[in-house]
A = this chain, B = another copy of it.
């Protein structure tokens, strides 16, 4: 009964679920959750988001049958921190969780964090992850110790591979292979996911598929290699598109599509320094690692036939931490109450049945250091900019920069002088946030 006390904040129905006592009728009312999560896919890398030479018919159909989010954000412009936020509903800056874990680092997600998988599992969901974890390589940090029933995938990025330390492919807590054939990973994750969905169809499930691709090195499967005129980058994106199609088809064949929310997105923007092996942020400025829009705004697609209305565009700013909150709400699980969350419930946006309350500020943190920018409604205020790439456009003396992202998504026209009251309001939000964070940090990864 230790669990009872530890997770009292997670509410009663979840405990019932966790112990198999949740009434069947209510259980089946709760939707399955599937999150398809790319690695380094940019805002402009799907045909439905404007790429001229990458063909993504399944994802485009997912968007026309579902909802396309045009202002959807990863919570960090880098890998580990982004995944941390998705699975905890919290800004990595709250705890100092690092942007990218190296293969030799012993750090990992703190056991006191309340992961999405733990929350859903306790609410009675079968939970699985097939793909890249990147929240700690040691046993205590791996998925099975963090709320997932099943795991097949990589502990970290696919470029963290060397002869002294070959990349492991894990199954559960065990190593299935070293330096695996990466060209088979997208198929492997897809097959495991379909198999899991088929096995678990009697109860609600959560499947998280953090694809290894299109992170470099690019390894398309043999069916896709050399097929895209975009080159190898296009091949791997088109294979992910295929995978999304297979998942949607499996759900439909099992009659589960009307009771499953599928959400497709990416962990951060495109890795521009990789040149043609990196992706495109479309009309957005910057890429991976940057707090310009291109670093953090990513494609977002929700698919849930008959619940998410067909063909709607969601232009409100939403982010991966919102998925944490929304998924727990959909599962009927209460949210952890003893800690501050940064996401919000976006069911009103997904169903278009009611108005969302006013916008919640979204904070842009660079991989290291203090907050760079805040967005509230259409407005984004930059109080810092990084590196010489950015200084080509704006000078440090011009800070703070204010952009209206609705009319100027490419962050081209600084309108700070014209809207002093907005600058003041957003500066206040930033200061309040920074002060609050200073008082709040309870977990330290140092």
Contacts and interface: CB of A to CB of B under 8 A. Distances in A.
A8 interface: no
A404 to B, nearest CB: 8
Interface stretch (A50-58, A383-391, A428-436): A50-58
Interface string A405-434: 011111011000000000000000000000
Copies, count: 2
A276 B409 CA distance: 10
A10 to B, nearest CB: 36
A406 B231 CA distance: 8
Given A276-B407, A407-B276, A378 B229 contact: yes
A343 to B, nearest CB: 21
Contact of A311 (B53, B57, B234, B378): B57
A230 interface: yes
A64 B44 CA distance: 18
A323 to B, nearest CB: 19
Interface residues of A: mostly helix, strand, loop or mixed? loop
A315 interface: yes
Given A64-B64, A283-B282, A283-B283, A53 B231 contact: no
A71 B52 contact: yes
A229 B311 contact: no
Q: How large is the interface on A (under 10, 10 to 19, 20 to 34, 35 or more residues)?
A: 35 or more
A275 interface: yes
A341 interface: no
A407 B281 CA distance: 14
Given A52-B409, A231-B407, A276-B408, 14 more contacts: A44-B50, A47-B68, A47-B70, A47-B313, A50-B283, A51-B70, A52-B70, A52-B283, A53-B70, A57-B311, A229-B407, A230-B406, A276-B404, A276-B407
Interface of A: 43-44, 47-53, 55, 57, 60, 64, 68, 70-71, 229-231, 233-234, 275-276, 280-283, 311, 313, 315, 378, 392, 404, 406-410, 412-413
